[in-house]
Structure 1
Amino acid sequence: MPQLTDKAVSEESRPDETGPDETRPDRAGTWMTPEAYGASRAALWTGAVVLVTDPDGRVLVQSVDYRSDRLLPGGAVDAGEAPCAAAARELREELGVDGRYPRGLAVDWIPADTPGFPPGMRFPGEILFVYDGGTWTPDRIDSVRLPDQEVTGIQFAEPADLPALMDAGDARRALSALRARVNGSGTALLEDGRPTVPTALDRLGVLRTRRIPQHGAWHAGPVPARLPVRDHAGWLFAPDGRVLLLIARASGAAHLPPPSAGPTTGAVPLGYRYGDQGAHVRTAARLTALPPATDPAYARLLATPEQVRELSDWGPAGADELAAVHTARTRLCLPAPTRTPPTELPDPGTRW
């Protein structure tokens, strides 16, 4: 930042306007008047939006009467207003819901040449804060009351559907913020919706395709012999309590691995969910090693059980399965893992 002076500094004490004053060691450096410095600074708009999900991991978007695409709830930060206060005010005005949203998910720099702004608006660029609105219960969703003007409706959208519903930059920002929430590592810095330091979830484009719904009821224990088995997946634990997760590189889809993904100990039948086409069986076990990757179509990550659930569409029974997973983890004498960004494992594998 340049050092500031004022008009009281005389020409005699500043003989060279273009460089430092060699006659005044205490004034060495780049000098600007407050007026010149203020004029040199970039002027940007400031906005605040809130990312809200329902219990199935779908994102709240709203329809407005002044544009055809959907938006996250939120809007402009007023002069002298803190961004998190603006977020709370906007949700109160737009949805009739009171709340506080102190946790930031992302801060996005939107360039001045972004398409879609009318020339007469003279859009200077914007810094937009994305706050975490959390997961809303059905009762909280039912409490939404729309204003007489501006907001005409709300819906909860599958994350992969956001690019079809929203402006391209808005959709990138929403998905980046949602991945930042899953990562749990703090606020992501974005430029035009893209993370400046992409995580594994960003690099692999997780949530860009629709999650496969598995909404059958959860049943503990082995599958009865009379039921057909549709697939068999494993909750395979590393020593730190995280589990192995597969990400399809072509689609970004997240899958639990088969129980045979690596050598294990202590394998137990965890339970199953039953749908129209058969049982989805789950086994829990402790990984002792991970062999070299044999299928380049999949990336192998370690994630917490909660992150696996957030990247899946399991319906209300997902909470029951998650509880069973943690019971199995305790029986295997493994720690409860700390939420950190999912870690991509090396192709040569590893041994614990």
Structure 2
Amino acid sequence: MTTRPEPGTAEWDHLAEGNAKQARKRVSADVLFRDEAGRILLVKPTYKEAWDLPGGMAEANESPQDAAERELREELGLAVRPGRLLCVDWVPPHGPWDDQLAFIFDGGTLDRYQSADLRPRDHELSECAFLTPEDALLRLPPRTRRRAAQALHVLAGRRPGYLEDGEPGR
């Protein structure tokens, strides 16, 4: 059994210094939902031009799965726990952003009652819609499109994957 270091000890101080200096990654957590017809749920954020998968950014010390669950509840009123991991993507620095880890979880199939009740529940979304997988991928920006396409491959039988900028890692 391992013991935890006590505050004020040399071990605690060493670990705290390492924690303060080590890189911190931004983390996003999205969910891939389907309706009974096999269409994919997309959302239209108010703060950017492109459509996106439902989900969002993790807060400090929040797990990716918890972040996705919170975002779904806040933005769509969906009280669901995201399922299995479909992929994780390391996204390189771009624009003003540092790198990040982007997770996509399986949301499963929403029944017709859940699908009919979906609507944006806060100011961050203006629309949500179910689209065929082909149409959904076309509405996503390239980086998100590559990641979502890999997640769809996992749903079709491929093992969950590690990606780098939407492509299978080395």
User: How would you bin the TM-score normalised by the shorter chain?
Assistant: 0.7 to 0.9
**How many Å apart are 1:60 and its aligned residue?**
0.6
**How many Å apart are 1:42 and its aligned residue?**
2.8
1:303 equivalent in structure 2: none
Name the structure, 1 or 2, with higher relative contact order (CA <8 Å, separation 6+): 2
1:88 and 2:69 aligned: yes
**How many Å apart are 1:143 and its aligned residue?**
2.2
Change (3 A) 1:88 1:148: closer
Q: Give the alignment partner of residue 75 of structure 1, picking from 51, 56, 78.
A: 56
2:88 equivalent in structure 1: 107
Tell me the number of residue pairs that the alignment of Structure 1 and Structure 2 aligns: 158
Distance 2:34 2:48 in 1: 23
Q: Which runs of 5+ in 2 are unaligned?
A: 1-9
**How many Å apart are 1:184 and its aligned residue?**
5.2
Distance 2:137 2:77 in 1: 27
1:142 and 2:142 aligned: no
8 A contact 2:76–2:121 mirrored in 1: yes
1:125 and 2:99 aligned: yes
1:162 and 2:136 aligned: yes
Distance 1:90 1:148 in 2: 10
State the one-letter code of the partner of 2:144: D
Distance 2:59 2:122 in 1: 22
**How many Å apart are 1:157 and its aligned residue?**
1.8
- Residue by residue over 1:180-204, the C-alpha shift from the partner in whole angstroms, topping out at 9 and shown as x without a partner, is 111153x21111111227xxxxxxx
**How many Å apart are 1:100 and its aligned residue?**
0.8
**How many Å apart are 1:148 and its aligned residue?**
4.0
* Greater helix proportion: 2
Distance 2:83 2:135 in 1: 27
Distance 2:169 2:140 in 1: 22
1:188 and 2:161 aligned: yes
State the one-letter code of the partner of 1:171: R
Larger Rg: 1
- Residue by residue over 1:213-256, the C-alpha shift from the partner in whole angstroms, topping out at 9 and shown as x without a partner, is xxxxxxxxxxxxxxxxxxxxxxxxxxxxxxxxxxxxxxxxxxxx
Identical-pair percentage: 36
**How many Å apart are 1:158 and its aligned residue?**
1.9
8 A contact 2:119–2:128 mirrored in 1: no
**How many Å apart are 1:82 and its aligned residue?**
1.4
**How many Å apart are 1:159 and its aligned residue?**
1.8
Change (3 A) 1:143 1:162: closer
Q: Which runs of 5+ in 1 are unaligned?
A: 1-7, 9-32, 198-352
Distance 1:107 1:157 in 2: 23
**How many Å apart are 1:55 and its aligned residue?**
2.1
**How many Å apart are 1:38 and its aligned residue?**
5.0
- Per the normalisation by structure 1, the TM-score is 0.42
**How many Å apart are 1:164 and its aligned residue?**
2.8
Change (3 A) 1:43 1:142: same
Q: Give the alignment partner of residue 146 of structure 2, picking from 172, 197, 214.
A: 172
**How many Å apart are 1:163 and its aligned residue?**
4.2
1:65 equivalent in structure 2: 46
* Alignment root-mean-square deviation, CA: 2.1
Question: Partner of 2:82: helix, strand, or coil?
Answer: coil
8 A contact 1:43–1:124 mirrored in 2: no
